[in-house]
Structure formats: C-alpha cells, structure tokens
Amino acid sequence: MVPEEVANKPAVVDPSTITLENGDTIAYGEYGDPEGNPIVLFHGTPGSRLLGALFDDIAATAGVRLLTFDRPGFGQSDPCPTRSITDAGRYVTTVLDDAEIETTALLAFSGGSQHAIATAATDDDRVARVDIVSGATPPAASDATPAMQRALGMLATHTPTVLRGLFRGQAWMANRRDPSFVVSQYRGADPDTPIDEQVAAVVKADFLEAVANSRQGVVTEFRNTATEWEIEFSALDVPIVIWHGDNDTNVPIENAQQFAEETNGALRVTENGDHLQTLVESVPTICEAWGK
C-alpha cells in the first residue's frame, strides 16, 4: 500500500480528470509546491500518476509543482488502443491547459521517454527542457536490448491477449506479496544499494494502479515502443539530459549512449545505478535545478 503520509493526497485518491473531445477521460495528480515551477512527470510502462508520490516532499522542498498523468489505458484514464507515440503532446497540452500552465519541464522515467521526446518534438513552444531517466530507447538504439524486453514487444504486436493475461497474473501476484516482488523487476540480480521501504511501497502501488482497470495501456505502449517512433530527432530544439545507470539491466547503458547521440542530449551516468536506483538518485538533482 502507499505510505501513510501520501495515501490520502488528492493525487492518489481523487485525481483531477479531463474529458477529451471523444468522451475519454484523462486523470492527473499534483505533488510538491502548488506555486512552484512546473514539471510534468511521465510514468513508466506500466505505471501511473502514483509515481509522483515518490517525490512529493522533494518537489515541495525544491519549489516544484509536479504533475503526473495516467496515460490512456493506465490508472484512471480510459484506454485508447489506436494512439501512437506522436499523440503524446495532445494529452500533455490538455493537462497543461487544465492546470493553467503555459510552459513546463518534462521528466520521463523508463517507458515514458518516448512520450516526453514526442511532446518536445510536436509542442516545443510548451516545453522548456526534457530529462529522461532510465529511459526506453527506440529500436534503432537497441542492439543490446534484453531478450525479455524484446519478447514483450513481440507479444504486444502479435498476441496482445496473452500479454494482457500475463500482466493480469502479475497484478494478482503483486497484490498478495510484499513490494520486493515488483521492485525486483527494476533492479539487477545483486543490487549494491537497498531501496527504502517507503519507495518500494510506492513502486508496488504504482504498478497495481497502472493495471487496476485495464491492461490495454501495456499492450499499446509495448507495441509502439517496439516499432519506429516516427520522431524527427534532428528537429528537437529543447535541452535534453539523459540520466542512466551503468548497471541498468532493463535498458543497457549502450542503448542510452546511442540514444543520447541521436537526440543530441547530454548523458549523465549514475555509477553502479540500476533502473530504479538511478530514478531515486537523479530526481532530487533535477528538481533542484528546475525549482524556484
């Protein structure tokens, strides 16, 4: 369950909702300083707005207004099986308009990376900078992609019913086991640094919320990630920083290095950092840089 100090926050139990022109609902939550400089946080795949609970106090101290929304098919947002990566900007600008924010920084974790990059490409007038943490990379940058990640993309493309069943089963197991069951999916076999119990509790809650109502978001995003992203990296005109651990077994550092070259991004390597530890260590620095 979510740690007690954040469990009753509106972003967790009563998120803001927006109704799109087609009638679909997008849900988002806010953390940190409501008067602070805005950052939109993109959760991973799977993931939800609850990821922001990890950084509520950090954002508040840094003077950051942290917004995070459930992408379609996750959490409390309706599925949209036909969406593409390049639709991301439409959802982000809808959230920004509802929150009365003109310009924001973007912060993406793991599978959120392509959505942040796509938003920067299509709506650069609303984006001040992009930080990618432990980010998924396009197929062209994925020579070292682990077999499991490739398998998920194949399942999403060819047997989506099997993938939905797989994540339904994972959710059933995660709900009955301690947070380490979920946390282990983001760490190496022998991590150097233990994960705080409260961080682990939020990571578990984030996963359960992500697939509570639908597994369609998982199918859509793993399918899209496995295909060409259709983003003109050369057209990107905002500062990009890629934060990546050299011990990341979900997305190997070689992929991040190539991705940084393709996007002309600055690469910041977390020594001995895995997929999750790099997120925990990087976000405070990012918030301090962008805060009031």
| Tokens standing for residue 231 | 């983003």
Question: Which residues of the chain fall below pLDDT 70?
Answer: 1-11, 13, 140-144, 189-190
pLDDT for the residue numbered 10:
66
pLDDT for the residue numbered 116:
98
Structural Rg of the chain based on CA atoms: 17
pLDDT for the residue numbered 285:
98
Per-residue pLDDT tens for 218-234?
A: 999 999 988 888 899 98
Adjacent-strand bridge partners of 240: 130
Contacts of 157 (CB under 8 A, 6+ apart): 223, 226, 227
Q: What is the pTM of this model?
A: 0.94
In 3D space, the residue among 192, 287, 179, 171 whose CA is nearest the CA of residue 248 turns out to be 192
pLDDT for the residue numbered 143:
62
Per-residue pLDDT tens for 65-88?
A: 999 999 999 999 999 999 999 999
CATH of 4-290, one of 3.40.50.300, 3.40.190.10, 3.30.390.50, 3.40.50.1820: 3.40.50.1820
Could you write out the three-class secondary structure of 172-236? Answer: HHHHHCCCHHHHHHHCCCCCCCCCCHHHHHHHHHHHHHHCCCCCHHHHHHHHHHCCCCCCCHHHC
247-286 core/surface letters (b: 16 or more CB in 10 A; e: else): bbbbbbbebbbbbbebbebebbbbeebbbbbbbbbbbeeb
pLDDT for the residue numbered 155:
85
CA distance to 120, 128, 260, 278, per residue, from 134 (Å): 18, 20, 12, 7
Identify the three-state secondary structure at position 273. coil
Locate the domains of the chain by residue range: 4-290
pLDDT for the residue numbered 239:
97
* Distance from C-alpha of 151 to C-alpha of 250, rounded to nearest angstrom: 13
